Amino acid sequence: MTSKRLAASLFIALATLAGVTHWRASARETAAEAAYPASGDFVTVDGRRLHYEMRGEGPDLVLIHGASGSLRDMTFSLRDRLTDRYRVIVVDRPGLGHSDVLDETSLLAQARFIKAGVAQLGVTRPVVLGQSYGGSVALAWALDGGPKALVLVSSPSMPWPGKLDIWYRLTSNPLGRALVVPLASAFVPDSYVRSAIDAVFAPDPVPKGYDAFLGTPLTLRRETLSANVSQVNALRAELVTMEPRYPTLSLPVELVHGSADTIVPLRIHSSPLSQLLPNATLTVIPRAGHMPHHSHADTVIEAIDRANQNS
């Protein structure tokens, strides 16, 4: 009888936790979408919506954000410094921000989705800037054909030694995602989010107002968390297949990387990549971290202008 009562009590406790988790996550998601509604427009590709903003006039420039983010990272300050001479298109990657999740999460699937979406806007041969994971998507786009030049900012490009951090290891399989993602969505505190943003920028400071503008509550939605971890967990294996093809890329590629980037280390990624690409320029920013498009925007803008001029 005791064991049956214990089992019943455990079941009730788990059911209660699941109910509270679902309720709290749903409430946080509703609040996030009310606080950070879609800021741009949508195009539809194969029944899935791509959220974008388009501003300015001139040659086409597509900006692709990194992991755990949205187009807000690109519109915080960088985008508006470019619209005087470029038609700038910023997008939410699939499953993040306000773009729909795709059935396939690969870099190539994301690249083709974005490519098809912006083509509906008349964008066919843009300069493509990708930051962090967004740079990996940009590389996949280039390998598939289309961009006239790339600007890769702090971007993973090569298979790395070791494993991802504990969050991604816990969510590397469907069971882990089913258990951990709802708990994170429901209970991760704001203090943890702020410390995570600090770590991504380090050793550079976080710009004033950035965390409030970014809309991190959108990132904590269950569907968005699941999409993000699926994408990041698949990244290394995809880079293994892409690496042998890099020497075939003849388009201009600007690589911008901080020497103090511990998220995507320079020595593992942009430095060796620059030796594989036939038309690459590597700009190393001394003592800069993972977010130089904020901390050293002038350097990134100079790279964009060079890429456009050389293409």
pLDDT at 195: 96
Q: Is 247 helix (H, G, I), strand (E, B) or coil?
A: helix
Contact status, residue 235 vs residue 107, Cβ threshold 8 Å: yes
Confirm whether 178 is domain-assigned.
yes
Indicate whether 84 belongs to any domain.
yes
Q: Say if 19 falls within a structural domain.
A: no
Return the pLDDT at 15: 55
What is the spatial distance between Cα 303 and Cα 300, in angstroms, rounded to a whole number? Answer: 5
Calculate mean pLDDT across residues 265-285: 98
pLDDT of residue 5: 63
Instruction: Tell me what the mean pLDDT of segment 192-212 comes to.
Output: 96
Residue 176 domain-assigned (yes or no): yes
pLDDT band per the 50, 70, 90 thresholds, residue 20: confident
Beta strands in the chain (DSSP E): 41-45, 48-55, 60-64, 87-91, 127-131, 149-153, 253-258, 280-285
CB 29 within 8 A of CB 185: yes
Residue type, position 51, single letter: H
**Chain centroid to CA 50:** 14
Does position 258 have pLDDT exceeding 80, yes or no?
yes
Question: What pLDDT, on the 0 to 100 scale, is given for residue 17?
Answer: 54
What pLDDT shows up at residue 19? 76
pLDDT in tens, 213-251: 999 999 999 999 999 999 999 999 999 999 999 999 999
Please state the domain count of the chain. 1
Q: Quick check: 32 pLDDT over 80?
A: yes
Q: What is the mean pLDDT of residues 284-311?
A: 98
CATH of the domain at 263: 3.40.50.1820
For residue range 88-136, what is the model confidence (pLDDT) as tens digits?
Answer: 999 999 999 999 999 999 999 999 999 999 999 999 999 999 999 999 9
Mean pLDDT of 55-60: 98
The reply to whether 112 falls in a domain is no
Residue 10 has pLDDT above 60, yes or no: no
8 Å CB contact between 99 and 108: no
Range of the structural domain that residue 254 is part of: 45-102+120-310
Cα distances from 79 to residues 49, 64, 131, 302, in angstroms, run 22, 11, 13, 14
Question: Which of residues 22 and 97 earns the better pLDDT score?
Answer: 97
With CA atoms as reference, report the closest residue to 66 among 124, 143, 152, 140. 152
Does some domain include residue 22? no
Q: Please state whether beta strands 127-131 and 60-64 pair in parallel, antiparallel, or not at all (unpaired).
A: parallel
- Is 296 domain-assigned? yes
Q: Is residue 18 part of a domain?
A: no
